[in-house]
Every structure is written in structure tokens, then in C-alpha cells.
A and B are shown apart, each in its own frame.
Chain A
Amino acid sequence: MAAVLLERIGLALVTMVIIAVVVFFALDLMPGDACSVTLGRGASDSMLAACHARLGLDQPPLWRFITWAGDFLRGDLGISMQRERPIAEIVGWRLRNTLILAGVTSVIGIPLALGLGVLAGLNPEGPLDMAISGVAIFAMTVPEFISGTLMILVFSVILGWAAGVVTIGYKAPAFELVKASILPAATLIFILAAHILRMVRASVVEVMQSDFVQMARLKGASRRRVIWHHVVPNALLPAISIIGLTMAWLLGGVVIVESVFNFPGLGRLAVDAVADQDLPLVQAIALLFGLIYVLTNLGADLVALILNPRLRTRRQ
């Protein structure tokens, strides 16, 4: 158990280092740098040199990488050129907002997806399954900018239940943001639930046909007991990894949905940063996305490890 745990954590750390290297050097290899972008084409060589010296860009790349990574570890993400403020501050607020959106989405979406998946899987090919699976396939195929727009059309324009576009700033109180995140969260749930429930449904169908479920029935266990003690715990195990992936996707900035709803999250910040050619910010966000991805997957692995005895204990 401990060995498996250490192995997973070690692997995650290695992955993070690789991500940092790739992010840093990929942007470094691009033509132009922070100074040339900020100063524009008219900048003279002496101005550029002064700027380089100020930002430390005259140092050798490896040295720059080490200082950048070291600063990052201390929480100093550098300074945004365009916004002329510490990146940590900008990213911090946006990260909070994205976490709020992801939180609302997953708190409602994941239990909903699991429940619907189990329900569909217990009655495969039945009318309930047909309805649930049909909607899920529709949700998976429709791109989110269309489903998001439809949401706005139905709930905001026609019904007038919620504001179509988020108008509050990124530093708005959390409570305001929760309210604002309802429509984008609904759009996200639409997609996320579809993926998870399809997975859970397939898993439930498979487990229902397994020998041990038949054996439980032959032991005289009631249907309710069979489902709660034997089917659900085993069927949900494979769902853990896909939940992890979904969380990573949610936290990694749901760029399109945030753009459609004008939600002040990390995804929109990333788009803006690229558009502004704010290279230090892009670098910081890219690294952050990578780390979030690795961490959520590590989390999913660990949860699976705890819940699945076959992974937890080795054969004697």
C-alpha cells in the first residue's frame, strides 16, 4: 500500500517537472520575448537590452528556468507585462472563480450522473435507459457553445430566470459568483454528466451480469441488497478515474463555456493572456493547468486505491 502510494506520488512529481520544462522552453523557443512584445517594433536595441537586464532575460536559459521555477514554488508567479500587476494576484482570483464554477458543477453534476448511470444500467434497454442514454448521447455530441447558447436562449431570454451573461467582476464576492455560475454550471453538467453516466451505465450492466451478483441473488439477497451491497460499489470503482479526468477538465479552465457566459475564470484569462501576448502570464497559466491536471488525476488514483481492495492489497 505505502509502496504503491509513494510510487504514484513520485510519478506525479516527475510529470510536474516535465510539464514545467516543456511549458518554459516551448515559450522560450518562440520568436520574440516579453520585452519585444511590450516595447513593440519601434524599440531600439538599447531599450531592449535594458528591458532584458531588468527582467533577467539576458541570463542563460537554464538559469532563467531555475529562477522561474524556484519563484513559482515560492508563490511568486512573476509580473504581468500588460496588466502590470503580480500574476499571482490575477491568477489567484480567477482560480477561486473557476473553483466555484467547478464546485457547483460537480456537487450537482457528479451525484446526478452516478444516479442516472446506475438507474439506466439497472434497466438496460428499458424505457428509462433509452431516455437517459438518449439525452446523454445528445449532450455529448452537441458542442458546448451551442448548448450554452441554447441555455441562455431558454432560461435567460425566454424564461428570464437567470442572467444570460455574467456581468460582475472577477473580484466579486463568492456568493455572487455562485449565483452567476448557475447557467454555465448547467451547461457543464450537461456534458460532464453525459460522459460519467455512460461510463457508469456500462459498468453497472457489466457488474449486473457478473457471477458474483448472480451468486448474491442465489444466496437469497433481496434486489435492494444486491444493488447496494454488490452492484453499486463495484460499478462505481471504474467511474472514479473518469470523475478525476472530468475534474481536471473543469479546473483546467473550461475555456469555451467561460467565454460564452463571460465568466471571470481561469479559462477566459488564458484566452485573454494569449490574445494580449502576455507571455509570463501564459507561462504561469499553462504550468498551473498542467499541475491541476496531474494533481486531480493523482487524487483520483489515490481514491481508487483506497476504495478498490484489488489495487490496495497485493496477492499473497
Chain B
Amino acid sequence: MTLSAHKLEVANLQVGGADFLVVDNVSFTIGQGESFGIAGESGSGKSTLLLSLMGMMRPGLKAIGGSVRLNGSSILGQSDAALVFVRGGKIALIPQNPATAFNPSLRIGAQIAEALLLHSALHQQARAKRVFDLLEMVLLPEPAVTAGRFPHELSGGQLQRAAIAMALAGEPEVLLLDEPTTGLDVTTQAALLDLLVDLRHRAKVSMVCVSHDLGVLARLCDRIAVMYAGAVIEEGPLVSVLARPGHPYTQALLSSIPRLASAGLPSPIEGSPPSLFDLPSGCCFAPRCALVQDACHDQRPDLKLADKDHKIACLRTLIATAPVVDHSDTIFTKAAPIIAVQSLSVGFAKQGFFVRKAPKSVVDAVSFTLAKGEVLGLVGESGSGKSTILRAIAGLAVPTTGQITLMSQNSAENLAARGTDRRLSQLRSIQLIFQNPDASLNPRHRIIDLIAQPLLLYGRVPRSQIRAMAANLLAEVRLGEATLDLMPAQLSGGERQRVAIARAFAAKPDVLLCDEITTSLDVSVQAAVLALIRDLARKHDVAAIFVSHDLAVVRSIADRIAVLHNGRVVEINDAQELCARPVDPYTKSLIGFVLEIPA
């Protein structure tokens, strides 16, 4: 026996018959307490895969290659007799169809007790007691009555629960679930999923869950694989796969799910899965794929790492080059752009002790343009690279590739990577407002000094006019002239952020970069600041990029919104349109179309 950190290891598993494969080269590992989901339509080989994890082959099928190891010891190739202690004891199955999985001529209690007889040392009375406990655990009413019933006397949902009780009887370390909640009403389904989740966290049971219902998988699993025609075509962390599906099949599968939140019919996947006896030589999904290319028919793509821990078997490395279609149609779309960002990538090299590790991309091939007077919202979770984009535009972060072009009156200037290499007029054009005014305002300077700096630097304003101009700027941000002589610490947070805004406008910028500027403010103050930015941008014809993690905030101020995920723009659209009809699944999840079990 080899020592292994993994509970269950599946490597290059191939299951099939004489001249066909039902499971084609599937590999995955599961640690203790982990839960792995396998999604796919019927006929994708997921149930066969599940059975082979217990060394069980349907008639006519056999393991052709690869291995299945439970706690390091091989399952495949073992005789039924050798697996007697493993099956039901170490690894148990909750079957797909409980109506046929129970022996019709034995009482439910006897069948659960049989599992106890086989895998526990309990004597007869203790077994009977344990059967009641198990039935109670799976929320079956009147355990004593239920135990005395025959399978045909229970409803489908009750049988499903009894099947779960039977699987749990042997206290397995790995639980295999084959469509565990089909045929259950929604409340029972929710309760049972809770039970399974609890079991996973408390008893550290590992799970492999097969389902066509991505909602169930979303509830139970941390990682999922999508199977098509016997092969895994996409695998990764649950959120990553559901929010940023890379394979066209996964994308199609996700958009074929009807959702409460969106009206209209879900989109079907045209065509049907290929016959296992006649698989195409190229990508199996190619005949149904909307994005098919010639090369897809030539070779079967391997599962390749496309993103952090996220593997996709598609010739087009979709996540990297996913074309972002800008659907927006606002007045700004046709207006002259003031700034254009092209394929901007920013990476930070990790400095190791001896080796310089390959730079990790924080911003990856981001492109967009901004028209005069337009407010572009940049939204994404922390770590999505939104602040880095702003810093790159401002010249504070050095891009690894890409170009930022500033279009002034009649010339287009490519901006230098470093702010220090940029000309003064270029620096003036682009002003950055930081998230936290406490940190961005020098606490030892009076407000007037703070505002005077850009006026002196960019405007060459005579000293005599400074006070009047500063007072004007303060008036624009609704602050009185008296504020001028105060220190930042004497102002409230909202007032300080107003000062920061006034200072940015003092430079008479063309582009204003706002980095989470309302995050540290109260909601009422936030509303005022938002209105202020919007008004000032309009009034001075200043374009703004407004960064926030809060889509609602961005929606309220932006004309257009770009959604960032893992450093890439996944969707850009007119703000209203994007919120009303999000196209990208990640956008949908941000808006609240999260994959949830309807309850």
C-alpha cells in the first residue's frame, strides 16, 4: 500500500467494451472531506464512472486502463470477494433510482440492517436501534413504521432518503451520490442537501456527486468536472467553472438552465451527444459547437490548465482569448475617445530567494476606450485587477505588455509606462482619486496647500489667485471657503474625500480615475459623492473610470460598465443593458443570478 494524502485517486481511467469507451481517460483526486462534482447529461458516462469507483462494471463493460485507488490501494481488478469490506464500508453509493435499488421482497429496515450486519460489530438489537436512528437522521417520519415497510409502500422521496440512510449505515469514508435528489420535493431536497453538507463538514466524509443538476452540485461540491461523451472537458473550482466556464459545452449547459431571475426560455443545445460507438476523431463537441473551427475536427483536445486550477479541453484556450464583445450603444460609443487602453497586461514577479518566479498576471490583456465626458464603471471582486488597471493608466504600475494612448485635441500620444517618464501635460490629463482620503491627503498640510499643489504644478497659477481658485474648487465640491484653512484631520471622511476630488479637478484633468472612492464613506455621504463626481464630469467634460466592487454603486454612476474577473474583462456593456441582460455568467452571478437551488 502506498501512502497517499488522497482518499480517492482516479488516474487515466478508461472503461469500455470491445470497441468503445464509456469513460475516457478520466483523472481526479479527492482528499478527506472534499467533495467533487461531476456534471453531464445522460449518456455522458458519469454513472458508469461512479460505479467503476467501487470496482463495479455494468455487464459488457470493463476497465480498460488507468487506476482507481482508495486510501492508496487499488480498487480495479479486485474480485467481488476482495471488495466486500470496501464496498458499503469504506465507499458507499447512494443510487440513482432508489425505487429499483431496494430488494422488493425485504422490508426497508432489514435492508438497512443488512448494511450494518456487514460493516459493523453491532448485535441485533443495537442494529435495530441504529436503523431507527439512521432513518430519523434522513428525516423520515416515524422511523419504526418506515423500517417495517416494504419498498413499494414508500414514496420515491422516502425511498431516496432510505437509500441515503442505507449508504450511511456502513459509515463510509467516501460517499458516491448518483443524482442524489432527483424525485424529491424542493424542501426535502434542501434539507437533505443540508444533511449531506453537514456530514461532509462534521464527519469529514469525502463525496463524489454525479448530477445533471448544476444547482445540486453548486450546493454540495467545491470542485466540479463536466463530462461529455465519456471525457472530462472542463474541471476546476466550482465558482470558477460556473462563473467562468471555458468550454463551449459548459457554457451551453449553463445557459440551458432555466432560472427564476431571467424570463424567457433557456437556450437549448442544438444537436445531440455523439454515439459512443462512433465518436468523432476530433473534439466530441465539435459537431454541436457554435465556436467550432476547422482544427477542432482534426484532433481531440487534451485537458489543459487554462486558469488557476481550472482545466479545459478545448483547442481555443477560451479563458485567455475570450472575445469581449462590447455591446454598448451609448452616445459615447460614437464620440471621440479620450483614452484607449489596448491589451494591457500587468504582472508582478514574485521574488524568490534564489529564483525569480514567472510573473503572475494580475491584469490580462485588457482593452477599452473611454470617450470624453463618459463614466466607465470597472467592477469586479478584490483581486480582479481593477485597481491595478487604474494604477497602470496613472503610470504607477508598469504594464508587462499593452499600450495606453491619450488622445488630446488632435494628436494621439502613447503614454510612457512609468509616470516619471511622462510629460507634464500627460500627467495633468490623468488624475487619480484614492480609496482612502486619510492616506491620500497629507495630514500636515492645510487644505489650501493640498489644493494649491496641482494648481501651481500644472496650472502655473499665480500665488495671488490660488486662494480664490481653491475656494471655487471647494465650492464645486460643496465645501465652504472656511475649510481652506483647516487640517484634514478636522474634516469628516466625506469632507476629506470631497477635498481629494477638488484637488483632482484642480489639475483640469481629461481623465479622472476613481479607485473605490466611496468605500470608506457612509451610504448617505456616498450618494452625495457619487452625484458630485457625475455632475463634475459632465460639467467639465471629464471622462472618468470609476472602480468599485459594488455593482450597484457603479451602475448608479457609470454610462458603461466593464466587468473584470481574474484580471480579464469578461463583459463590457451599456450600464443599463448590462444589468438588465447580462451575457456573461460571471456578470450574472455578480448581479445575483447566482446558481442556487430554488427554495
Contacts of B339 in A (CB 8 A): none
Query: Which residue of B has the minimal Cβ distance to A215?
Result: B101
Interface presence of B40 (CB below 8 A): no
* Other-chain contact of B80, A210, A217, A237, A315 (Cβ < 8 Å): A217
Complex Cα–Cα for A233 and B86 (A): 26
Q: From residue 233 to 263 of chain B, which have CB atoms closer than 8 A to chain A?
A: none
Complex Cα–Cα for A211 and B93 (A): 12
Complex Cα–Cα for A308 and B151 (A): 12
Interface presence of B92 (CB below 8 A): yes
Listed stretches A144-152, A177-185, A218-226, A246-254; interface member = A218-226
- Whether B170 lies near A237 (C-beta < 8 A) is no
Contacts of B535 in A (CB 8 A): none
- Whether A220 lies near B83 (C-beta < 8 A) is yes
* Other-chain contact of A215, B80, B95, B150, B152 (Cβ < 8 Å): B95
Number of residues of chain B lying within 8 A (CB) of chain A:
35
- Whether B114 lies near A223 (C-beta < 8 A) is no
Interface presence of B89 (CB below 8 A): yes
* Other-chain contact of B114, A214, A229, A234, A309 (Cβ < 8 Å): A229
Interface presence of A41 (CB below 8 A): no
Complex Cα–Cα for A209 and B56 (A): 13
Interface presence of B59 (CB below 8 A): yes
Q: From residue 206 to 246 of chain A, which have CB atoms closer than 8 A to chain B?
A: 209-212, 214-223, 229-230, 233-234, 237
Query: What total count of A-B pairs have CB within 8 Å?
Result: 85
Query: Which residue of B has the minimal Cβ distance to A308?
Result: B105
**Contacts A219-B88, A229-B106, A229-B114 hold; do A211 and B152 have CB atoms under 8 A apart?**
no
**Contacts A211-B100, A309-B152 hold; do A220 and B95 have CB atoms under 8 A apart?**
no
Contacts of A310 in B (CB 8 A): 104-105, 150, 152
Complex Cα–Cα for A309 and B83 (A): 31
Contacts of A15 in B (CB 8 A): none
Interface presence of A316 (CB below 8 A): yes
- Whether A230 lies near B59 (C-beta < 8 A) is no
- Whether A234 lies near B104 (C-beta < 8 A) is yes
Contacts of B80 in A (CB 8 A): 217, 223
Interface centre among A218, A219, A229, A234 (most CB of B within 10 A): A219
Interface presence of A59 (CB below 8 A): no
Interface presence of B102 (CB below 8 A): yes
**Contacts A209-B59, A214-B56, A229-B106 hold; do A219 and B170 have CB atoms under 8 A apart?**
yes
**Contacts A209-B59, A211-B101 hold; do A217 and B93 have CB atoms under 8 A apart?**
no
Interface presence of A313 (CB below 8 A): yes
- Whether A215 lies near B119 (C-beta < 8 A) is no
* Other-chain contact of B89, A220, A229, A230, A233 (Cβ < 8 Å): A220
Contacts of A215 in B (CB 8 A): 93, 95, 101-102
Complex Cα–Cα for A92 and B406 (A): 119
Query: Which residue of B has the minimal Cβ distance to A230?
Result: B103
Query: Which residue of A has the minimal Cβ distance to B54?
Result: A218
Q: From residue 21 to 59 of chain B, which have CB atoms closer than 8 A to chain A?
A: 51, 54, 56, 59
* Other-chain contact of A217, B87, B104, B166 (Cβ < 8 Å): B87
Contacts of A230 in B (CB 8 A): 103, 106
Contacts of B87 in A (CB 8 A): 217-220
- Whether B81 lies near A223 (C-beta < 8 A) is yes
Interface presence of B400 (CB below 8 A): no
- Chain A contact surface mostly: helix
- Whether B105 lies near A218 (C-beta < 8 A) is no
Q: A186-215 CB contact bits vs B (8 Å, 1 = yes)?
A: 000000000000000000000001111011
Q: Measured between C-beta atoms, what is the minimum distance from B161 to chain A in Å?
A: 15
Interface presence of B153 (CB below 8 A): yes
Contacts of A221 in B (CB 8 A): 84, 88, 114, 118
Q: Measured between C-beta atoms, what is the minimum distance from B455 to chain A in Å?
A: 79
Query: Which residue of B has the minimal Cβ distance to A220?
Result: B88
Q: Measured between C-beta atoms, what is the minimum distance from A37 to chain B in Å?
A: 55
Q: Measured between C-beta atoms, what is the minimum distance from A120 to chain B in Å?
A: 17
Q: A18-49 CB contact bits vs B (8 Å, 1 = yes)?
A: 00000000000000000000000000000000
> Interface size bucket, A side?
20 to 34
* Other-chain contact of B84, A211, A220, A307 (Cβ < 8 Å): A220
- Whether A222 lies near B81 (C-beta < 8 A) is yes
Q: Measured between C-beta atoms, what is the minimum distance from A209 to chain B in Å?
A: 7
- Whether A222 lies near B84 (C-beta < 8 A) is yes
Interface presence of B115 (CB below 8 A): yes
- Whether A234 lies near B105 (C-beta < 8 A) is yes
- Whether A218 lies near B88 (C-beta < 8 A) is yes
Contacts of A211 in B (CB 8 A): 95, 97, 100-101
Contacts of A214 in B (CB 8 A): 56, 101
**Contacts A229-B106, A313-B150 hold; do A220 and B101 have CB atoms under 8 A apart?**
no
Q: B89-117 CB contact bits vs A (8 Å, 1 = yes)?
A: 10011010100111111100000001100
**Contacts A212-B104, A229-B114 hold; do A218 and B150 have CB atoms under 8 A apart?**
no
Q: Measured between C-beta atoms, what is the minimum distance from A218 to chain B in Å?
A: 5
Complex Cα–Cα for A215 and B111 (A): 10
Q: From residue 121 to 162 of chain B, which have CB atoms closer than 8 A to chain A?
A: 149-150, 152-154
Contacts of A216 in B (CB 8 A): 103, 114
- Whether A315 lies near B95 (C-beta < 8 A) is no
* Other-chain contact of A220, B86, B103, B106, B150 (Cβ < 8 Å): B86
Contacts of B150 in A (CB 8 A): 309-310, 313
Q: From residue 239 to 284 of chain A, which have CB atoms closer than 8 A to chain B?
A: none
Contacts of B20 in A (CB 8 A): none
Contacts of B106 in A (CB 8 A): 229-230
Query: Which residue of A has the minimal Cβ distance to B99?
Result: A211
Contacts of B84 in A (CB 8 A): 220-222
Contacts of A220 in B (CB 8 A): 83-89, 115, 118-119, 170
Q: B162-188 CB contact bits vs A (8 Å, 1 = yes)?
A: 000010001000000000000000000
Contacts of B153 in A (CB 8 A): 313, 315-316
- Whether B114 lies near A219 (C-beta < 8 A) is yes
Contacts of A219 in B (CB 8 A): 87-88, 92, 114-115, 118, 166, 170
- Whether B105 lies near A237 (C-beta < 8 A) is yes
Complex Cα–Cα for A309 and B100 (A): 15
Contacts of B93 in A (CB 8 A): 215, 218
Complex Cα–Cα for A2 and B4 (A): 60
Contacts of B119 in A (CB 8 A): 220
Contacts of B154 in A (CB 8 A): 316
Q: Measured between C-beta atoms, what is the minimum distance from A36 to chain B in Å?
A: 58
Q: Measured between C-beta atoms, what is the minimum distance from A224 to chain B in Å?
A: 10
Q: Measured between C-beta atoms, what is the minimum distance from B57 to chain A in Å?
A: 10
Complex Cα–Cα for A216 and B149 (A): 18
Contacts of B114 in A (CB 8 A): 216, 219, 221, 229
- Whether B101 lies near A212 (C-beta < 8 A) is yes
Complex Cα–Cα for A281 and B59 (A): 58
- Whether B104 lies near A309 (C-beta < 8 A) is yes
Query: Which residue of B has the minimal Cβ distance to A316?
Result: B153
Contacts of A217 in B (CB 8 A): 56, 80, 87
Complex Cα–Cα for A269 and B305 (A): 88
Contacts of B115 in A (CB 8 A): 219-220
Q: List 17 A-B contacts (CB under 8 A).
A: A209-B59, A211-B97, A211-B100, A212-B103, A215-B102, A217-B87, A220-B83, A220-B84, A220-B89, A229-B106, A230-B106, A233-B105, A234-B103, A309-B104, A310-B104, A310-B150, A315-B152
Given contacts A215-B102, A220-B86, 6 further A-B contacts (CB under 8 A): A211-B100, A221-B84, A221-B118, A222-B84, A229-B114, A310-B152
A-B pairs, top 3 by smallest CB distance, nearest first, are A220-B88, A211-B100, A219-B88
